[in-house]
Amino acid sequence: MTGTKAQISYGSELLRKGIHIASLLIPIIYLQLEHWTGIGILLVMTAVSVLIDALMHFNASARRMMLQLVGPLLRSHELREDKFLLTGASWVLIAAVSSFLFFPTIVGVTAFTVLIVSDTFAALVGRRFGSTPFLDKSVVGTATFIVTSWGVVLVFAAIYSLPMPYIVCGAIAGMVGGIAEAGSTRLRLDDNISIPFSFALTMWIVGTIATSMGFESFVHALP
C-alpha cells in the first residue's frame, strides 16, 4: 500500500502487485520441503536478489539493463543513486527467510501469506478508493488489509483444521499488522518487514498467553 513515497502509475502498481501475489508460491513450496532445505533455497534466492540490487546500484550497465526491464515497476526510493536501498523483491525474500526461521511454522507461514495477500489488496483498494488518511496510508486501505488478513487466517484454519484460538489470535494479529503497515513509513521500516514481524510476534505472544490460560495450543500445528 502506498504512502508518502512517490507513486508509480496504477497500471504499473497492478503489474507489481501481480508479481507480488506470485510470491504465494514461496510458502506453498516451502511447506512441501524439509525445513532446512526450504531455508537454504530461500537464502540462495535472497543472496541472488540482493546481488542484483547491488549491481543495479553500483554498475551503470546493469542499471541500464534493469531499468529497461523493470524500470516502470520500481518505486522512487528503489531508484535512488545517492543511497543503496534494497528493492521490494529482496525485502520479500528476507521476510520469507525470517518468518520461516524465527517463528513456528504455522505462525511464520500465516504471517508471510498475510504480507502477500493483504498488502496486495490494501495497496490496490487504497490507491483507488482511499481518500481519508490513516497514519501513512488510508482508512479504506488499512481496513482492506485487516479484513483480507482475517480471510487468510480462516483459509489456513479450514485447510489444517486449526482450533479457535488460532482464529482469534490471527484476528488480533491482523489488526496489529494493519496498523504496523499503515505506520511503516514513519517507523522507517519497509512494510515487507513490519507486516510479517508484527503479525507473527502478536500471534505467537497472544497464542502463548492463551495456551498458559488453558486454551488449546496451535503454535506447533505444523512440523
List, in sequence order, the alpha helices (H) in the chain.
10-21, 25-30, 35-58, 60-70, 88-102, 105-129, 139-160, 164-182, 191-212
pLDDT at 109: 98
Q: What is the mean pLDDT of residues 163-185?
A: 95
Percentage of the chain with pLDDT > 90?
64
Banded model confidence at residue 92, pLDDT cuts 50, 70, 90: very high
Contact 142, 181 (CB under 8 A): yes
pLDDT at 6: 53
Distance CA 221, CA 223 (A): 7
Q: What is the mean pLDDT of residues 17-38?
A: 94
pTM reported for the whole predicted model = 0.90
pLDDT at 110: 98
How high is the mean pLDDT of the chain? 91
Percentage of the chain with pLDDT > 70?
97
**pLDDT of 1 higher than 50:** no
Q: What is the mean pLDDT of residues 15-41?
A: 94
Distance CA 32, CA 142 (A): 32
Banded model confidence at residue 175, pLDDT cuts 50, 70, 90: very high
Q: What is the mean pLDDT of residues 190-201?
A: 94
**pLDDT of 4 higher than 50:** no
